[in-house]
Amino acid sequence: MELSCQVQNYDWGKKGSQSIVAQLQKSADPVFQIDEDLPYAELWMGTHVNGTSIVKKTKEKLSDIIKRHPNYLGEGVLEQFKQELPFLFKVLSVNKALSIQAHPSKSHAEELHSKFPDIYKDPNHKPEMAIALTRFEALCGFRPLAEIKSFFALVPELSDIVGCEALLEDCTLIKKAFRAVLTCDKGKITNIINNILERFGEHDEFQRDTVYAELVERLHSQFPYDNGVLMVYFLNYMQLMPGDAIFLGANEPHAYLSGDCIECMACSDNVVRAGLTPKFVDVNTLCSMLLYQGSPKEDKLFTPIREDDCTMIFRPPVPDFAVILIKVSTSKFTHYTPKERSSASILLFVNGEATYVNGIVVPGTVLFIPANTVVQFSNLKSDLLIYQAIANV
């Protein structure tokens, strides 16, 4: 079943035709008009109530079709998730940093939802994975302790916030320093950021690179004097190339900064924010839940498993979802049949053109495929790049 999917116009999205979200939507729906002044941030594929997909042929909600035909989900999904598609599949086009945030565990999400239902609107956890479509920047997880301590020498204002005595307590430095920066008085943060920016102007290129001057200046331009600007010195700075992935489990601090990616997550909207945002921040909750274990940025890359010549699967340690990357070259194949899956799946075509039983697929085509169903694509006009989301059961 081909789907019509909802675009979200959040202000951090890339504007107009610069956005891959807009490009894919336009390609799949020629009637769709791109407004060059409007941000196109996310494309949602799935059954989430804030952006449920519609079956093109019947104009019905995908969620309603699944309710009528729960067998489409597959036995494993029905056993674990009842009659719900357990994942939300997205494309993101990021022009401006998203908030520094983390997602609660399942039990913590249930607790937060029961206490603060207006803020934490569902009781589900929200593990998520991002796979780069273009060069993609993110902050992800705490840096190794030695790296964090080195920045206290390079950026002495950090010691003014945290206190020199904290540097003697390695076991608690990350936790104490992180909280101290996020809770620092706005007047003090303003002075400190001004001092840091002034010193950056005196640095040569090597010194600027060492202290991530360009990144700090960019975040400050987007969120002036926000405490979160200084998180550059605590969280790993990742620069993903197309096909690189990161997995963000419960209590992992992160922030997407720029670029385009595929994202898949549990079907939830629970976010605990603490910086780089005008939205509600909950510093105490975030600081109490985080994993304060520093590790090198290389450890944050999530490695897929190769299934065959065309497919690699990113299988995270959660049952809600896995993502399959499919690349099909016309130099080797005239037709292609994706592997049969025991779970319902959603296919997104990023590149290529082919025919299938119901018509033609082009970049931006989104298909829902019931469990244990095989679909063949033939008459390949160009190389295919497909992302497929399934339940990881």
Of 368, 375, 390, 387, give the one whose Cα is nearest residue 60. 368
Distance of alpha carbon 21 from alpha carbon 132, whole angstroms:
13
Q: Is the model more confident about 271 or about 23?
A: 23
C-beta of residue 274 within 8 angstroms of C-beta of residue 165: no
Query: What's residue 276's pLDDT?
Result: 85
- Name the active-site residue from 143, 179, 273, 341: 273
Distance of alpha carbon 102 from alpha carbon 168, whole angstroms:
28
Residue 380: pLDDT band with limits 50, 70, 90: very high
Query: What's residue 164's pLDDT?
Result: 61
Domain ranges of the chain: 3-140+238-279, 145-232, 308-390
Mean pLDDT of the chain: 92
Query: What's residue 221's pLDDT?
Result: 97
**Same topology for domains 145-232 and 308-390, yes or no?**
no
Average pLDDT over residues 290-313: 93
The topology (CATH level 3) of 145-232 is Phosphomannose Isomerase; domain 2 (1.10.441)
306 is catalytic: no
Encode pLDDT of 330-349 as tens digits. Answer: 999 989 999 999 999 999 99
The topology (CATH level 3) of 3-140+238-279 is Jelly Rolls (2.60.120)
Identity of residue 70: P
Query: What's residue 103's pLDDT?
Result: 81
Neighbouring residues of 334: CB distance < 8 A, sequence distance ≥ 6 = 378, 379, 380
Average pLDDT over residues 134-145: 95
Neighbouring residues of 340: CB distance < 8 A, sequence distance ≥ 6 = 372, 373, 374
Class of the CATH-defined domain 308-390: mainly beta
| Tokens 């200084």 found at | 230
Q: Give the strand pairing for 42-45 and 6-8.
A: antiparallel
> And the tokens for 220?
């400050």
Query: What's residue 387's pLDDT?
Result: 98
Average pLDDT over residues 57-72: 96
Query: What's residue 277's pLDDT?
Result: 82
Question: How many percent of the chain have pLDDT more than 70?
Answer: 96
